[in-house]
Structure 1
Amino acid sequence: MTPASLLAFAGLCVVLAVTPGPDTFLVLRFSLSRPAAGLAASAGSAIGSVAWAAAVALGLAALLEQSAEIYRIVKIVGGLYLIYLGIAAFVASRRRATAGIEPTTRRTSLWSGFSAGAVSTMLNPKVGLFFLAVAPQFIPHDGSAIGSTLILGATYACIGSLYLAGVALLASRAVAWLRRPAVTTWLERVSAGILAALGLGTIALSVE
Structure 2
Amino acid sequence: MTAASVLAFAGLCVVLAITPGPDTFLVLRFSVSRPGAGIAASLGSAVGSLAWALAVALGLAALLEQSAEVYRVLKIVGGLYLIYLGVMAFIASRRNRSGTGIETPVRRTSLHGGFAAGILSTMTNPKVGLFFLAVAPQFVPHDGFTIGNTLLLGAIDALVGSLYLVVVALLAGRAVAWLKRPAVTTWLERVSAGILAALGLGTIALSAES
TM-score (norm 2): 0.96
The residue type paired with residue 17 of structure 2 is: A
Query: Per-residue deviation at 1:76?
Result: 0.1
Code of the aligned partner of 2:97 = A
Q: Which amino acid aligns with 1:103?
A: P
Runs (5+) with no aligned partner, structure 1: none
Match of 1:169 in 2: 170
Tell me which residue corresponds to 2:104. Answer: 102
Give the Cα separation in 2 of the matches to 1:103 and 1:75.
35
Q: Which residue of 1 aligns with 2:37?
A: 37
Partner of 2:160: 159
Q: Distance in 1 between the 2:3 and 2:147 partners?
A: 18
Q: CA deviation at 1:128?
A: 0.2
Runs of 5+ consecutive residues of structure 2 not aligned to the other structure: none
The verdict on how the C-alpha distance between 1:103 and 1:143 changes in structure 2, with shifts beyond 3 A counting, is: farther
Q: Partner of 1:180 in structure 2? A: 181
Counterpart of 1:68 in structure 2 is 68
Aligned length: 207
What displacement does 1:174 show? 0.6
Tell whether 2:92 aligns with 1:92.
yes
In the alignment, the residues of structure 2 paired with residue 94 and residue 77 of structure 1 have an alpha-carbon distance, to the nearest angstrom, of 26
Percent of counterpart pairs with the same letter? Answer: 79
Query: Residue in 2 aligned with 1:114?
Result: 115
TM-score, length-normalised on structure 1? 0.97
* Structure 1 equivalent of residue 198 of structure 2: 197
Runs ≥4 residues deviating over 6 A: none
Secondary structure of the corresponding residue to residue 19 of structure 1? coil
Q: CA deviation at 1:101?
A: 5.2
Counterpart Cα distance in 1 of 2:192 and 2:97: 17
Cα deviation, residue 194, structure 1 = 0.2
